[in-house]
Amino acid sequence: MNEILLHPPKRLYRAARFATRPQPHSLNIMGFGFDGTACFRKGTAIAPDAIRLVASDIESYSPYLDLDLEEAAPFYDLGNLVVHNTGDAHNDYLAAHGRFAKLTGSLDFAADGIHLLTLGGEHSISYSAIAAYLQAYPDLLLLHLDAHADLRQEYQGYHYSHASIIRRCLDHFGPGHQLLQFGIRSGTRDEYAWMRGHKTLASSLEAFVEMIDGQPADRPIYLTLDLDYFDPAYMPGTGTPEPGGQDFLSFVRIVQALRRKRLVGADVVELSPPVDASGNSDVFATKVVRELILAFQRKEDHEQ
pLDDT of residue 211: 98
The string of DSSP codes covering 127-160 is HHHHHHHHHH-TTPEEEEE-SB----S-BTTBSS
Each residue's pLDDT tens digit, 265-297: 999 999 999 999 999 999 999 999 999 999 999
Q: What Å distances lie between residue 61 and 66, 70, 129, 247, CA to CA? A: 7, 8, 28, 20
User: What class has domain 6-303?
Assistant: alpha beta
DSSP sequence for 66-105: TEEGGGSPPEEEEEEE----SS-HHHHHHHHHHHHHHHHT
d(CA 32, CA 48): 7
Residue 302 has a pLDDT of 47
Specify the pLDDT at position 297. Answer: 92
Residues of the chain with pLDDT under 50: 302-304
For residue 42, the model assigns a pLDDT of: 76
Helix (H) or strand (E) holding 61: strand 61-62
CA distance 89 to 86: 7
SS3 label, residue 29: strand
Is residue 282 within 8 A of residue 271, CB to CB? The reply is yes
One-letter amino acid identity for 185?
R
Q: What ranges do the domains of the chain cover?
A: 6-303
